[in-house]
Structure 1
Amino acid sequence: MDDYLEGLSTEEKEMRVLDYELKSLKKDRQLYLQQPNSNIFFRCKKSDALNHLEEAQERIKAAQKSAAK
């Protein structure tokens, strides 16, 4: 498993940790998402935060695939 983790980029590791932390939260927990390029945070639902995380993971994977070509 350590060999697998060594092969991941820092962003991927951060996303895995964030995913685990979000999934372990209670349903009624308040979450806040930061707006890009600002210091403004908006309250959101847990499902919205997970969707945002999935989109970010997909962008990272797509960027890595295009960089590998």
Structure 2
Amino acid sequence: MRNGEIEILCATTAYGCGLNLPDVRCVVCFGLPKNMSSWMQEQGRAGRDGQPSRAVILLNEKYDINR
């Protein structure tokens, strides 16, 4: 924590749906989301303030690719 700011926040998708922070720089998803709409909601949490940001999906080849 620096100057009272949160540097890393971990959340489930249920909690993440209520997350409304403007300065999120990176969203990392572990595994494929349930559907495309969910993916867009999750990834859309990054960069709401117009600053550069990134969204990443980490896949497990054996589980996610077959799904």
TM-score interval, normalised by the smaller of the two chains: under 0.3
- For the pair shown, the structure with the greater C-alpha radius of gyration is 1
TM-score by length of 1: 0.25
Structure having greater relative contact order (Cα 8 Å, sep ≥ 6): 2
- Which structure shows the higher helix fraction? 1
